[in-house]
Amino acid sequence: MPASARRLPTGGIIDRSKSIGFRFNGKSYSGFAGDTLASALIANGVSLTARSFKYHRPRGIVGAGHEEPGSLVELVGDEQSANQPITTVRLRDGLDARSVNCWPSPHFDLMGINQLFSRFIPAAFYYKTFMWPNWHLFEPHIRRAAGLASAPDALLHQGLYETRHGHCDILVVGAGPAGLTAALAAARAGARVMLVDDQMQAGGSLSGLAENLDGRHALQWVDDVVAELDALANVVRLRSATAWAYREHNLIMVTERAPDEDHVFQRTWRVRARQVIIATGAIERAMVFADNDRPGIMMASAAQIYVNRYAVAPGQRAVVFTNNNSAYRVAAEMKAAGIEVAAIIDSRTDIDDAARSLAAGIEICQGQVVSRSEGRRRVKAAVIRSAAGGSERRIACDLLVMSGGWNPAVHLFSQSRGSLRYDTGIEAFVPDRAVQACLCAGSASGLFTLSGAIEDGAEKARLALRACGLDSPNAKLPTTVSELPYTIEALWHVEQDNPAAKSFVDIQNDVTLNDVHLAMREGFGAVEHVKRYTTAGMGIDQGKTGNINVIGAIANRAGQDLQDIGTTTFRSPYVPIEFGAIGGQREGPVVLPYRHTPITDWHRQAGAEMYEAGARWRRPGYYPLKGESFQQTVDRESLAVREGVGVYDGAPLGKFEIKGPDAGKFLDLLYTNVFSTLKTGMGRYGLMLTDDGIILDDGVSFKLGDNHFLMSTSTGHADEVNRHMEHVLQIERPQWQVMITTVTTQWANATVCGPKARQLVEKLCTDIDLSAEAFPFMAMREGTVAGIAARICRVSFTGELSFEINVAARHFAKLWDKIMEAGGPMGIVPVGSEANHVLRVEKGFLSLGHEADGTTDAYDLGMGWIMSKKKPDYIGKRSVEIRRAKDRPRRELVGLLIDDPARLVTEGAPVTPEGRRQASEGLVTACVHSVALKRSVALALLEDGRARIGQKAHIRMKDDVVSAEITAPCFYDPDGERLRS
Amino acid sequence: MLLLTCPFCGPRDESEFAHGGYARKQRPDNPQMMSDDAWVDYLTVPDNPMGPVREKWWHVRGCGTYFTVERDTRTHDITDEGESHAS
Closest Cβ–Cβ partner in A726, A732, A882 for B26:
A732
3-class secondary-structure state, position A675? coil
Pick the closest to residue A327 from A368, A291, A292, A356 (CA basis). Answer: A356
Cα of B52 to nearest chain A Cα, Å? 16
Distance from CA of A806 to the nearest CA of B (A): 27
Nearest-Cα distance to chain A for B33, in Å, is 10
Determine whether the interchain pair A730/B85 forms a contact, defined as Cβ–Cβ distance below 8 Å: yes
Please name the residue of chain B whose CA is at the shortest distance from the CA of residue A734. Answer: B86
Count of beta carbons in the 10 Å neighbourhood of residue A33:
15
Q: Please tell me the predicted confidence (pLDDT) of residue A134.
A: 64
Whole-number Å distance between alpha carbons of A267 and A258:
8
Partner A contacted by B31 (CB < 8 A): yes
DSSP SS3 for A946: helix
Q: CB contact, 8 Å: B63 with chain A? A: no
Give residues with Cβ within 8 angstroms of A925, minimum separation 6: A847, A850, A851, A853, A893, A907, A908, A938, A939, A940, A941
- 8 Å CB contact of B29 and A873: yes
DSSP state of A810: G
Partners of residue A935 on adjacent β-strands: A930
- CB within 8 Å: A249 and B2: yes
CB contacts < 8 A (A, B): 70
Task: Please compute, for residue B3, the number of CA atoms within 13 A of its CA located in the half-sphere on the CB side.
Answer: 16
Chain A residues whose beta carbon lies within 8 Å of the beta carbon of residue B76: 248-249
Mutate to test the interface with A, among B12, B57, B76, B84 (most CBs of A within 10 A): B76
- pLDDT tens, position by position, B2-12: 999 999 999 99
Q: DSSP letters of A766-791? A: -SS--STTTS-TTBEEEEEETTEEEE
Residue from A249, A665, A738 to probe the interface with B (highest B Cβ count within 10 Å): A249
Optimal mutation site among B12, B35, B37, B58, interface A, most CBs of chain A within 10 A? B58
- The SS3 call for residue A177 is helix
How far apart are the C-alpha atoms of A691 and A676, rounded to whole Å?
20
Question: What pLDDT is recorded for position B81?
Answer: 79
Give the mean pLDDT of chain B.
89
Substitution target from B6, B12, B13 for chain A, most A beta carbons within 10 A:
B13
Among A169, A253, A730, the residue to mutate for chain B (most B Cβ within 10 A): A730
A779/A777 Cα distance (integer angstroms): 6
Q: Angle at Cα A755 formed by Cα A754 and Cα A757, nearest 5°?
A: 65
Q: Looking at the domain that runs over B3-85, which CATH code has it been given? A: 3.30.2270.10
Comparing CB atoms, the residue among A272, A691, A723 nearest residue B58 is A723
| DSSP characters over A133-155 | S-HHHHHHHHHHHH--PPPP-S-
B76 and A CB contact within 8 Å: yes
pLDDT at position A839, please? Answer: 97
List CB contacts (< 8 A) between B75 and chain A.
248, 417, 435
Q: What is the pLDDT of residue A105?
A: 63
Which of A731, A734, A882 faces B39 most closely, judged by CB atoms?
Answer: A882
Our CA-based measurement puts residue B51 at a distance from the nearest CA of chain A, in whole angstroms, of 16
Question: Tell me, what's the pLDDT at A148?
Answer: 64
Nearest-CA distance B50 → chain A (Å): 17
Q: A779 vs chain B: nearest CA distance in angstroms?
A: 32
Chain A nearest-CA distance from B47, in A, is 18
CB atoms within 10 A of CB A120: 9
Nearest to B66 among A165, A247, A726 (CB): A726
Q: How many residues does chain B have?
A: 87
Contact A727 B20 (CB under 8 A): yes
Given an 8 Å threshold on Cβ–Cβ distance, is B31 in contact with A417? no
| Mutation site for B-interface testing, chosen from A254, A691, A731 by largest number of B Cβ within 10 Å | A731
Q: Using CA of residue A630, residue A632, residue A635, residue A639, what is the dihedral sign?
A: negative
Which chain B residues are Cβ-neighbours of A417 within 8 angstroms? 75
- Nearest-neighbour CA in chain A from B48: distance (Å): 19
CA distances from A282 to A207, A492, B6 (A): 14, 18, 40
The answer to whether A226 and A237 are in contact (CB under 8 A) is yes
C-alpha distances out from residue A45 to A5, A206, A216, A733, Å: 7, 26, 33, 78
In sequence order, which ranges of B1-87 are alpha helices (DSSP H)? 36-44
| Interface contact A731-B26, CB threshold 8 A | yes
Q: For residue A314, is the peptide bond before it cis, meaning its omega torsion is within 30 degrees of 0?
A: no
Interface test with A, best of B43, B63, B72 (most A CBs within 10 A): B43
pLDDT band for position B45 (cuts 50, 70, 90):
confident
Q: What pLDDT does A587 receive?
A: 76
B16 CA: distance to closest CA in chain A (Å): 13
The verdict on a CB contact (< 8 Å) between A165 and B13 is: yes
Q: What is the DSSP string of A248-316?
A: GGGEEEEEESS-SSTTEEEEEEEEEEEEEEE---EEE-----BTTTSTTEEEHHHHHHHHHTS-B-S-S
Task: Chain A: give the shortest CA distance to residue B9, in Å.
Answer: 16
Helix or strand holding residue A63 (H, E): none
Do the chains contact at A248 and B85, CB–CB below 8 Å? no
- For chain A, the residues whose C-beta falls within 8 A of a C-beta of chain B are 165, 247-251, 270, 272, 417, 435, 691-692, 723, 726-727, 729-732, 734-735, 872-873, 877-879, 882, 885
Specify the pLDDT at position A108.
60
At A871-898, the pLDDT tens digits run: 999 999 999 999 999 888 999 999 999 9
Whole-number CA gyration radius for chain B:
14
CA distance B30 to chain A (A): 7
**Residue B32 and residue A872: Cβ atoms within 8 Å?**
yes
Which run of H or of E encompasses A401?
strand A399-403
In chain B, whose CA is at the least distance from the CA of A253? B1
Nearest to B1 among A247, A732, A735 (CB): A247
pLDDT-based confidence at residue B22 (cuts at 50, 70, 90): confident
CA distance A668 to chain B (A): 13
User: Measured between alpha carbons, how far is A280 from A405 in angstroms, rounded to an integer?
Assistant: 17
Q: Could you tell me which chain B residue has the CA closest to the CA of A873?
A: B30
B87 close to A (CB below 8 A)? yes
Q: What is the distance between the alpha carbons of residues A198 and A259, in angstroms, rounded to a whole number?
A: 12
Q: Which of A435, A731, A734 lies nearest to residue B56, judging by beta carbons?
A: A731
State whether A882 and B2 contact (CB < 8 Å): no
Predicted complex ipTM: 0.95
> Any chain A CB within 8 A of the CB of B86?
yes
Cβ neighbours around B11 below 10 Å, total: 13
- SS3 state of residue A193: strand
Residue-level pLDDT at B87: 43
User: What distance in Å separates residue A256's CA from the closest CA in chain B?
Assistant: 20
Nearest Cβ partner of B32 from A249, A730, A878? A878
Regions of chain A short of the pLDDT cut 70: 1-4, 101-150, 154-158
Contact A727 B32 (CB under 8 A): no
